[in-house]
């Protein structure tokens, strides 16, 4: 079977990259505007592995892919040289938290192998110095340390490239934004602020705070995301003749001050406030403070606010000889390790298992970025388990007055720095964190979606479907679209609606909601996957006249209201309002045969 990348490559080759003037996709097909329809060989497109059918309809080239259309579109968009407004992805609708997590995880994806590699080197360096096998002042150690630190120090540069790809904007302008964050004037100012007493520059009367941006995450990702919109706006505003001269200059003039004055320091300002809250909680109720800080510390790391806690640790050690805050750093990191190691048992691919194992090991030695961003945040449930486990472990240690005598990378090798009198409780506390994170992840799973190449086990022999809309139930061949009527997308039926409401045809889950709101994917409790497509070519409405009542991941009951749409308006605009109902994983059954009636539809599956 052809890969999505190969399918996209063959499609673009047949159509011709220069022949494509616009490209988007809907629930089932790639949609393209082409300069010359005569250059498009529809028969050749039909022969491409992964293509169900190609057709030109209403002046638009449509390449029907089916369920994998989003993946093929993503690969195809990399092969055509179109501006951002000429390539429009119809993404599945998700809630804001899911989109933020997906954006952060998506930016980390390409960096994970290097992140794990550098993390392992840092772990080796820590072991070598702990066992006195290498002199920390030697050139050998400095080179090893350089290898381990190179990604972490220059993190903004790495993330700038992956963020630019994620947000489909100019990669080298994104790198320039990273350069602004890491510019020596800013970095040296941050390092020398305590000595010089100068903590900012002035730009047009506005303060530019000196912040140490090495290893930071959110400032560059947020900056590149905002730049993706600024770049589109400026690129559209400037005439083609002057784009090369003025677009980069104007974008940088807008973005760099915005980045250094507002976006970058935001985490620092917020972190200072969090540091005061943490200090207050530990002072008034240490156990509660440890529980809360240990639980929410990973969120501080994500937003780059955890550095604000370091001065408090250092001050406590200077005054009392130890810090009661440090144990939360240790239990939090080891909980991340435990959760990631547990994901190993849920992952299917050997490469993913190997990465999870490596990330978990590096987290044990205090380098949590590969574990946190590569796995736990990506799958969400392991992150929640790790946060709770880290908080409980920290609270236990604080109850027994445990503390650290030095500020050191919080991992297993930091154990010698903890107070000897309470050492047994330190061991118990970190054991609690690791165990709870692992057990929680093993019990609740990783909540991942089946990958495209995973096998879905379906045990159904029949599927009872309630009519999901008021109207006439008709056979699929009545649909005025060959993609549906010929059954190439899968077997099913359709309803000619008399009311603008779509209800759940069975109990199950929502697997996808397209941003254009005209199509939803559902999965029954016994594993049958279906597509409900409201009207024909209604993707062109871009969500107008539709009101979706559910979101991806929701559990639904039969008869539950899913979507409302303005039926009369769609008819007035000339759209065919018929609603096809397609079983999309029919290939997993020997047959999919609907038995139609006015009040129920039964699919015989074998």
When pLDDT is cut at 50, 70 and 90, the band that residue 592 belongs to is low
**C-alpha separations of 284 from 182, 277, 280, 314, 583 in Å:** 38, 11, 6, 20, 60
pLDDT the model gives residue 590: 45
Residue 75 pLDDT > 90: no
Across the range 168-174, mean pLDDT stands at: 89
Judge whether 266 and 209 are in contact, CB under 8 Å: no
Task: Name every residue whose Cβ is closer than 8 Å to that of residue 6 and which is 6 or more positions away in sequence.
Answer: 49, 50
Distance CA 220, CA 78 (A): 23
Indicate which residues carry an active-site annotation: 26
Distance CA 329, CA 313 (A): 11
Starting from the edge strand earliest in sequence, which strands make up the sheet with 462-465, in order?
A: 462-465, 601-605, 592-596
Judge whether 116 and 340 are in contact, CB under 8 Å: no
CA dihedral 295, 301, 304, 308 (to 10 degrees): 60
Across the range 330-348, mean pLDDT stands at: 91
- Give, for 104, the enclosing helix (H) or strand (E): helix 96-108
Complete DSSP assignment for 144-155: HHHHHHHHHHTH
Smallest CA-to-CA distance from 348 within 240, 450, 260, 237 is with: 450
> pLDDT > 90: what percent of the chain?
25
Most confident of the following: 54-63, 453-462, 576-585: 576-585
Complete DSSP assignment for 206-218: EEEE----TT--H
Distance CA 483, CA 364 (A): 53
pLDDT the model gives residue 596: 60
Across the range 102-127, mean pLDDT stands at: 76
pLDDT digits (tens, 9 = 90+) for 475-511: 888 888 877 887 777 788 889 999 999 999 888 899 8
Distance CA 493, CA 582 (A): 7
Judge whether 290 and 398 are in contact, CB under 8 Å: yes
Task: Name every residue whose Cβ is closer than 8 Å to that of residue 517 and which is 6 or more positions away in sequence.
Answer: 93, 543, 546, 547, 548, 563, 565
For residue 473, the SS3 value is strand
pLDDT digits (tens, 9 = 90+) for 202-245: 899 888 888 888 877 788 888 999 999 999 899 888 888 888 88
Q: What is the DSSP letter of 586?
A: G
Distance CA 361, CA 598 (A): 59
When pLDDT is cut at 50, 70 and 90, the band that residue 307 belongs to is low
Residue 401 pLDDT > 80: yes
pLDDT digits (tens, 9 = 90+) for 539-560: 888 889 999 999 888 889 888 9
Distance CA 432, CA 440 (A): 12
Task: Name every residue whose Cβ is closer than 8 Å to that of residue 156 and which is 6 or more positions away in sequence.
Answer: 178, 181, 182, 213, 214, 216, 219, 220
Judge whether 17 and 87 are in contact, CB under 8 Å: no
When pLDDT is cut at 50, 70 and 90, the band that residue 82 belongs to is low
Task: Name every residue whose Cβ is closer than 8 Å to that of residue 158 and which is 6 or more positions away in sequence.
Answer: 111, 114, 151
Residue 194 pLDDT > 90: no
The neighbour count for residue 258, using CB atoms within 10 Å, is: 16
Longest CA–CA span in the chain (Å) reads 83
Across the range 305-320, mean pLDDT stands at: 71
Cα-trace Rg, the chain? 28
pLDDT the model gives residue 197: 80
Most confident of the following: 234-238, 309-313, 339-343: 339-343
Residue 313 pLDDT > 70: yes
> pLDDT > 70: what percent of the chain?
86
Residue in the block written with tokens 């297993």: 412
pLDDT the model gives residue 451: 39
pLDDT the model gives residue 388: 96
pLDDT the model gives residue 150: 85
Candidate from 130-134, 205-209, 232-236, 382-386 with smallest mean pLDDT: 130-134
Q: Is the model more confident about 465 or about 307?
A: 465
pLDDT digits (tens, 9 = 90+) for 117-127: 887 787 788 78
**C-alpha separations of 583 from 93, 148, 489, 606 in Å:** 21, 50, 8, 13
Task: Write down all domains in the chain, each with its CATH number in brackets.
Answer: 4-88 (3.30.1360.60), 462-605 (2.70.70.10)
Complete DSSP assignment for 359-398: HHHHHHTT--HHHIIIIIHHHSHHHHHHHHHHHHHHHHHH
Sign of the four-CA dihedral 491, 496, 502, 503: negative
Residue 303 pLDDT > 50: yes
When pLDDT is cut at 50, 70 and 90, the band that residue 453 belongs to is very low
Round to the nearest angstrom and report the end-to-end CA distance of the chain: 24
Judge whether 382 and 376 are in contact, CB under 8 Å: yes
pTM, 2 dp: 0.55
Smallest CA-to-CA distance from 343 within 297, 381, 296 is with: 381
pLDDT the model gives residue 575: 92
Task: Name every residue whose Cβ is closer than 8 Å to that of residue 3 and which is 6 or more positions away in sequence.
Answer: none
Beta bridge partners of residue 374, listed in sequence order: none
Distance CA 442, CA 338 (A): 10
When pLDDT is cut at 50, 70 and 90, the band that residue 459 belongs to is very low
The neighbour count for residue 557, using CB atoms within 10 Å, is: 10
Candidate from 106-120, 129-143, 401-415, 442-456 with smallest mean pLDDT: 442-456
Residue 258 pLDDT > 80: yes
Smallest CA-to-CA distance from 498 within 397, 563, 568 is with: 568
For residue 606, the SS3 value is coil
Sign of the four-CA dihedral 425, 428, 430, 433: negative
pLDDT the model gives residue 374: 81
Q: Is the model more confident about 336 or about 457?
A: 336
pLDDT the model gives residue 449: 44
Residue 598 pLDDT > 70: no
Residue 348 pLDDT > 80: no
Judge whether 32 and 60 are in contact, CB under 8 Å: yes
Task: Name every residue whose Cβ is closer than 8 Å to that of residue 111 and which is 6 or more positions away in sequence.
Answer: 151, 158, 159, 162
Residue 589 pLDDT > 60: no
Complete DSSP assignment for 290-315: HHHHHHHHHHHHHTT-GGGGHHHHHH
Q: What is the DSSP letter of 414?
A: G
pLDDT the model gives residue 4: 82
Q: Is the model more confident about 488 or about 143?
A: 143
pLDDT the model gives residue 448: 45
Q: Is the model more confident about 454 or about 347?
A: 347
């Amino acid at each position: 079977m052809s890969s999505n990348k190969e399918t996209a490559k063959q499609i673009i080759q047949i159509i011709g990259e220069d022949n494509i003037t616009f490209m988007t996709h809907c629930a089932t097909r790639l949609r393209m505007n082409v300069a010359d329809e005569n250059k498009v060989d529809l028969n050749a497109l039909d022969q491409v592995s992964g293509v169900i059918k190609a057709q030109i309809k209403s002046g638009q080239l449509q390449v029907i892919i089916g369920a994998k259309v989003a993946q093929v579109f993503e690969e195809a968009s990399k092969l055509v040289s179109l501006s951002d407004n000429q390539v429009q992805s119809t993404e599945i609708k998700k809630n804001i938290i899911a989109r933020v997590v997906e954006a952060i995880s998506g930016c980390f994806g390409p960096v994970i192998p290097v992140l794990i590699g550098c993390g392992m080197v840092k772990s080796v360096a820590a072991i070598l110095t702990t066992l006195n096998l290498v002199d920390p002042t030697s050139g050998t150690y400095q080179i090893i340390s350089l290898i381990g630190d190179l990604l972490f120090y220059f993190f903004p540069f790495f993330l700038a490239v992956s963020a630019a790809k994620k947000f489909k904007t100019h990669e080298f302008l994104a790198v320039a934004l990273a350069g602004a964050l890491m510019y020596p004037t800013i970095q040296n100012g941050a390092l020398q602020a305590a000595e010089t007493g100068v903590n900012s520059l002035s730009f047009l009367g506005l303060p530019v705070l000196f912040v140490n941006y090495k290893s930071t995450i959110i400032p560059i990702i947020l900056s590149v995301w905002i730049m993706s919109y600024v770049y589109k706006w400026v690129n559209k505003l400037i005439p083609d003749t002057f784009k090369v001269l003025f677009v980069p200059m104007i974008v940088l003039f807008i973005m760099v001050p915005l980045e250094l004055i507002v976006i970058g320091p935001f985490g620092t300002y917020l972190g200072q406030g969090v540091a005061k809250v943490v200090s207050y909680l530990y002072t008034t109720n240490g156990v509660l403070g440890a529980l809360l800080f240990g639980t929410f510390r990973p969120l501080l790391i994500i937003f780059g606010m955890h550095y604000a806690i370091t001065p408090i640790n250092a001050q406590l050690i200077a005054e009392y000889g130890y810090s009661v805050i440090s144990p939360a750093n240790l239990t939090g990191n080891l909980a991340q390790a435990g959760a990631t190691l547990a994901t190993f048992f849920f992952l299917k691919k050997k490469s993913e298992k190997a990465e999870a194992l490596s990330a978990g090991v590096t987290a044990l030695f205090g380098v949590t970025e590969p574990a946190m961003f590569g796995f736990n945040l990506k799958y969400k449930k392991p992150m929640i388990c790790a946060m709770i486990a880290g908080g409980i472990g920290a609270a236990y240690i604080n109850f027994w007055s445990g503390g650290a005598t030095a500020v050191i990378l919080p991992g297993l090798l930091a154990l010698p720095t903890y107070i000897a009198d309470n050492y047994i409780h330190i061991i118990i506390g970190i054991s609690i964190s690791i165990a709870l994170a692992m057990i929680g992840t093993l019990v609740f799973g990783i909540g991942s979606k089946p990958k495209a190449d995973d096998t879905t086990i379906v045990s159904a022999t029949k599927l009872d479907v309630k009519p999901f809309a008021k109207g006439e139930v008709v056979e699929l061949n009545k649909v005025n679209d060959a993609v549906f009527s010929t059954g190439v997308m899968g077997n099913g039926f359709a309803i000619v609606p008399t009311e603008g409401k779509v209800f759940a045809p069975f109990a199950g889950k929502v697997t996808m909601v397209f941003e254009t709101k005209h199509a939803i994917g559902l999965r029954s409790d016994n594993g049958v996957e279906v597509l409900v497509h409201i009207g024909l070519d209604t993707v062109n409405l871009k969500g107008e006249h539709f009101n979706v009542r559910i979101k991806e991941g929701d559990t639904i009951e039969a008869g539950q209201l899913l979507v409302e749409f303005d039926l009369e308006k769609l008819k007035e605009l000339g759209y065919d309002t018929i609603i096809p109902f397609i079983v999309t994983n029919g290939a997993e059954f020997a047959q999919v045969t609907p038995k139609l009636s006015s009040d129920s539809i039964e699919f015989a599956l074998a």
